[in-house]
Structure 1
């Protein structure tokens, strides 16, 4: 284990601009960094809890805050450390109180693609998938309704999208057009080995790494299982590539532990594919469009 902080962990990301790993703690309302940037604390309190995040081209962070997407400036060295106050960009599905943002990442073109979950006890499939950009606003993707959106990831060229419903036993894939926010050829990628799909990423050899049922499963591009990895002390919550040359694969535990792979497992792994930064240089007040 490299470090343990906070009460929970999710949405692990490599911040290439500041050379550190970042993740939110939705229980403790903190945003953590490891290693902490010089003269900065490892954690910064957030005024609202977040379970989804992405790094932005401006150096800010994009956060999924319940039903809203927001953007926050990270504290700079020498500045007083204040709680992060997010600028709200948009509210998702405002007329439906049962849904909340549950998973998301940037596509290869710098748009944020995310999904929602039904947080009510009825567990009906009312969650949806969306693409958000400051150029086009919010656009709904024509994917099946889900109980809880999960497993969103993109191939290295950005033309294949992976996704899942955490309440079902399959990982799905589709052809994805980022410019038009269009999806076609929706089909099953593979069956889950463990119930409960979670975070997912793709490496440079097009292998899919999927968190499911608290373990990490690696698939090849055809959906065949290559390996399974479990943590001894806690369930796996998220996974990300980063570090020099995208050679490190780190695993975030559900209780806030950050782990590297042992040498026998890390040897011979393909490099990761760098996360695209969310492009936030335009106006945040673009009207919502529907498709």
Structure 2
């Protein structure tokens, strides 16, 4: 374990600009960074809780805030810390009170692709998948409805999208056109070993790393299971590549612990692929 902060973990991302991992704590309402950038605290408080995030080209952070996408400006080094208020970009499925953003990441072109979940007890499949960009706004992807969207990731060339229903038994794949927000050829990619397919990431050789049932499962590019990794102290919540040369694969625990792989497991792993920064060039900068 590298560090434990906060009360919960959800989405883990590598910020290549600030050279740190970042993750929101949806219970404690904090956004954490490790290692903390020079002159910055490890955590900053937000006025709203978030469970999905992406790093932006400007240095800001894009957040999934319940039913809304919002943007926050991180404080400058040495600036007094106070709760950060997000600039709301768009509201998702405003007429449906039961849904909330559940998973998301940038595609290889810098658009934010995310999905929603049915948070009501009925657990009907009413969750959907979307693409958001400053250029085109919000566009719904023509994918099957789900109970809980998860497992969103993209092939190294960006032309294939992976996704899952956390309540289902398979990871799906489809063709993906980032410019037109078009999908097609939806087929199963792999069977889920344990119920609850959540966060996922693809490495430089096309292997898919999927968090499911609190463990991490590695699939090869053809959907075959390579290995399963479990944390001893808590369930895994998210996974991300980062560090020098994108050679470190870290796991975020559901209770806020950040873990690196033991040397025997990390040795020989292919490097990851850097997240494409979300293109927020059309969003006005708000100084705090």
User: Normalised by the shorter chain, which TM-score bucket?
Assistant: over 0.9
C-alpha separation between the residues in 1 aligned to 2:80 and 2:28?
21
Residue 183 of structure 1 aligns with which residue? 183
SS of corresponding position for 2:198: strand
2:197 counterpart residue number: 197
What does the per-residue CA deviation read over 1:52-84, in whole Å, with 9 as the maximum and x for residues that have no partner?
000000100000000000000001112111111
Cα RMSD between the aligned structures?
A: 0.7
CA positional deviation for 1:199:
0.1
Instruction: Tell me the residue number matched to 1:82.
Output: 82
| Alignment partner, residue 70 of structure 2 | 70
d(CA) in 2 for partners of 1:78 and 1:125? 46
Alignment deviations for residues 146-181 of structure 1 (CA, whole Å, 9 cap, x no partner): 000000000111000000000101000000000000
Equivalent residue for 2:170?
Answer: 170
Looking at structure 2, the residues matched to 186 and 84 of structure 1 have their Cα atoms a distance apart, in angstroms, of: 40
Q: Distance in 2 between matches of 1:178 and 1:40?
A: 35
CA–CA distance in structure 2, aligned partners of residues 208 and 218 of structure 1: 6
Which runs of structure 2 are paired with 1:135-154 in the superposition (5 Å)?
A: 135-154=135-154
What TM-score do you get using the length of structure 2 for normalisation?
Answer: 0.98
Aligned residue number for residue 288 of structure 1 = none
Cα deviation, residue 282, structure 1 = 1.5
Residue in 2 aligned with 1:116? 116
User: Secondary structure at the residue paired with 1:185?
Assistant: strand
Number of residues of Structure 1 aligned to a counterpart in Structure 2: 284
Displacement of 1:283 in angstroms is 4.6
| Structure 1 segments (4+ residues) deviating >6 Å | none
SS of residue in 2 equivalent to 1:172: strand
Q: Which residue of 1 aligns with 2:23?
A: 23
TM-score using structure 1 length = 0.97
Distance 1:283 1:18, change over 3 A: closer
Which 5+ residue runs of structure 2 have no aligned equivalent? none
Deviation string, structure 1 residues 212-255 (Cα, Å, up to 9, x no partner): 00000000010000000000000000000000000000000000
